[in-house]
Each structure stands twice: as C-alpha cells, then as structure tokens.
Amino acid sequence: MATVTFDQATRIYPKAEKPAVDALDLEIADGEFLVLVGPSGCGKSTSLRMLAGLEEVDAGSVLIGDRDVTDRPPKDRDIAMVFQNYALYPHMTVGENMGFALKLAGVDKAERARRVAEAAKILDLSEYLDRRPKALSGGQRQRVAMGRAIVRSPQVFLMDEPLSNLDAKLRVQTRTQIAALVKRLGTTTVYVTHDQVEAMTMGDRVAVLKDGVLQQCDTPGALYDRPANVFVAGFIGSPAMNLVTGPAVEGGVRVGGAVLPVPREQLARAAAGNGQVTVGFRPEAMHLVGPGEGVQVLVNVVEQLGSDAFLYTKLAGEDTDDVLHPSDVVIRTEPRSAPAMGEKLWLGVREGALHVFDAATQQRVE
C-alpha cells in the first residue's frame, strides 16, 4: 500500500490544442478510496491512465509512495487495473486470467493456485475457475476482473468505470461489494466514474474534474455542502442544485421578482465582478412561506418517487409555455402532501442553505 501523488501532471494529446489533463495536483493518502468524477471528456480516465503508465505524462510527475514513476512502464508500478470492459483474456480460463500476472512475476505454481483460490473465494468465483470468460454473465466477468486485480496484492488499485457495463440493479449491488472489499483489503484505490451517485457513495474523497482541470477534491459531504464553484454545485447532487443568476440589489439577489436575502459583505464580494450574482439552493432546502415573503413559483410537473416527490417549477413571471425548459427550480417535498400541477407556491430558502457564487468568476463566495 502506498500514497499516490499527482504533481502538476499534464497530458497533451498530439495535435490537441488544450491539455486533456492540465497541471493536476492531487495527493491520495495510503489506503484511501479516491473517486475521480466528471462529465465525458473531463480527463478523469486520462488521469487514471497516466497513473497506470498507459498514457505519457507531458509535464509534471506522478509518484507512488516516494517513488517517481512518471517514466516507468506499468509493470514497474505495482498497480492493478480494472477496465470498463473488463479486458479478460478470452482464451484463458478464469483461474488463468487471475493468475496471469503472478505467472509473469515468476510466482511458483502452488503459491499461484493458493492465491487465486483465495481471491476466488472472496469473490464467490470458486466454482467458475475452469470456465472461459465467454461462459460467464456480466456480473461474474466483472468479479473476475476484480479478482485479477486483488490476487496481486498491488500497492494501488485503479478502476476505470468498472460498473458501467452492468444493469442498474447489479450496479448498485456491486457498488457496495467493491466498497466493502476495498475497505477490507485497505489498498489505496483510484476509481473513475461519470456517475456522481457512485462517486458520492463509494469515495472517501471525491475529485471533480472539468475540461482537464481539477475543480475540487473533498469528502462527499463537503462537496455537497460547500461546492467550490458553480460547476461542482451543479454536478454533485441529484436532482442538481438549483442555480439562478440575478442582479445584486439592496439586501440580496433579485430572483424572479423577489429578493433572496444575502448578507451585505458576502453580496458585495460576489457582485464585485459584473454586479450579477449566482445563487444556488438544493431541492430539499426550500420551504413554504406566506404570500409575498419569498419567491413565487408555478408547479409544472410533479414526479412521485414514493419516498419523495419532486416538483419542477417555473419562477413566476417567466415564460411558462417553454416545454423544453419546463423548470427553473426543482423542489423535493413530502410525497403524500405534494402540491398539484398548476399550483402557485411561495417559497423561501432555509437559513444557511443558500450558496452564493460570483457570476463572473463562477467561484464560491463565503
């Protein structure tokens, strides 16, 4: 087990104008489960591949433990990787797949068999050791890929969207299994996903990337409660945080004909750019207030989920016939007493639940 450090690590693909990963600075502690998350093309997989040695590092360096591995080939890095499509060797049995790395490392046959059997037992694969990958289900293949990684007892596990080929139910089930397994093994893990729910549920810390730049790296709770900028605020959380931009006025920010109160000092700093301020509030941060006290919204769509109901609402005064954008504000509410479609509500934001961003720089203002 070891720490992992990205020190200004940069990757520029040939003929590309912008770096795929731009001066990434990240320190991952020994035994930590770090999730890299972001939309397609944000550089999360490239970062992982740089750590694996499958992608060149054009500037900066990558360290595993105290060792600079920037220019070392993958086999000298003591890592194991789980690929999105599992990349199992089709002509080898499950046992041979899992033992291949050990065979290459010169581990003797008996020891190899022992370690493969041990890993197979953990992953409930013992009865499939003699089968070829094509005779396995998707979930079993995924476990073989995991087995191939853990059998080596590497310093770092790298996982590149290992759940994205599974169906929704199996994904949730496997998600918890992987998290539990990695905790039990205590191995440093870097996990790439585009699914923010996976990121929030699995990671000790989550690093959010966009356009090759690290936006924020923090615990799931901190990311949710104190997003560093508008992108992170909108990316983390489902449904996403409501983000509305309006002019700074006396006492707050004007949103849809009402003023959301923001402390004077915070408002001044947020409006320093262009006088506009972006405010964000989570769907669960809203509550009903008396007429004229908050923002008035019109309920356009009601989604019943059983445990919750989501109201997709339009700020009063906006164009309510815009079917492509039926909602400005999403509200989470009690499913049993949810307002009906077409109702008009007055809403306020709970104390302390308003996030304030500078509309010009998109950065959080405290």
Residues that bind other proteins (CB under 8 A): 52-54, 73-75, 79-81, 83-85, 87-91, 100-101, 104-105, 148
Question: Of the two residues 182 and 230, which places its CB atom closer to other proteins in the complex?
Answer: 182
Question: Of the two residues 61 and 84, which places its CB atom closer to other proteins in the complex?
Answer: 84
For residues 5 and 27, the answer to whether their CB atoms sit within 8 Å is yes
Containing 174, the helix (H) or strand (E) segment is helix 168-185
Separation between Cα atoms, residue 233 and residue 280, nearest integer Å: 8
SS3 label, residue 164: coil
For residues 160 and 126, the answer to whether their CB atoms sit within 8 Å is no
CA geometry: angle at 72 spanning 69 and 78, to 5°?
Answer: 70
Separation between Cα atoms, residue 105 and residue 110, nearest integer Å: 14
What is the nearest approach in angstroms of other proteins to the Cβ of residue 87? Answer: 4
Question: Of the two residues 56 and 322, which places its CB atom closer to other proteins in the complex?
Answer: 56
Question: Of the two residues 54 and 353, which places its CB atom closer to other proteins in the complex?
Answer: 54
What is the nearest approach in angstroms of other proteins to the Cβ of residue 13? Answer: 12
Question: Of the two residues 101 and 353, which places its CB atom closer to other proteins in the complex?
Answer: 101
Separation between Cα atoms, residue 154 and residue 147, nearest integer Å: 12
What is the nearest approach in angstroms of other proteins to the Cβ of residue 94? Answer: 14
User: Residue with structure tokens 């409930």?
Assistant: 124
What is the nearest approach in angstroms of other proteins to the Cβ of residue 269? Answer: 47
User: Which residues lie closer than 8 Å to 8 by C-beta, 6 or more apart?
Assistant: 23, 24, 25, 59, 60, 61
What is the nearest approach in angstroms of other proteins to the Cβ of residue 86? Answer: 8
From the list 88, 91, 144, 89, the residue with the least C-alpha distance to 116 is 144
Question: Of the two residues 52 and 248, which places its CB atom closer to other proteins in the complex?
Answer: 52
Question: Of the two residues 90 and 352, which places its CB atom closer to other proteins in the complex?
Answer: 90
For residues 361 and 272, the answer to whether their CB atoms sit within 8 Å is no
Question: Of the two residues 73 and 292, which places its CB atom closer to other proteins in the complex?
Answer: 73
Residues in the chain: 366
What is the nearest approach in angstroms of other proteins to the Cβ of residue 304? Answer: 41
Q: What token pair was written down for 257?
A: 């004909």
Sheet strands side by side (includes 276-281)? 258-261, 252-255, 242-249, 276-281, 355-358
What is the nearest approach in angstroms of other proteins to the Cβ of residue 230? Answer: 35
What is the nearest approach in angstroms of other proteins to the Cβ of residue 84? Answer: 8
For residues 108 and 142, the answer to whether their CB atoms sit within 8 Å is no
Beta strand 286-288 with 258-261: parallel, antiparallel or unpaired? unpaired
What is the nearest approach in angstroms of other proteins to the Cβ of residue 77? Answer: 8
Handedness of CA 44, 48, 53, 54 (dihedral sign): negative
Q: What token pair was written down for 220?
A: 């799931």
Question: Of the two residues 13 and 346, which places its CB atom closer to other proteins in the complex?
Answer: 13
From the list 216, 247, 219, the residue with the least C-alpha distance to 234 is 216
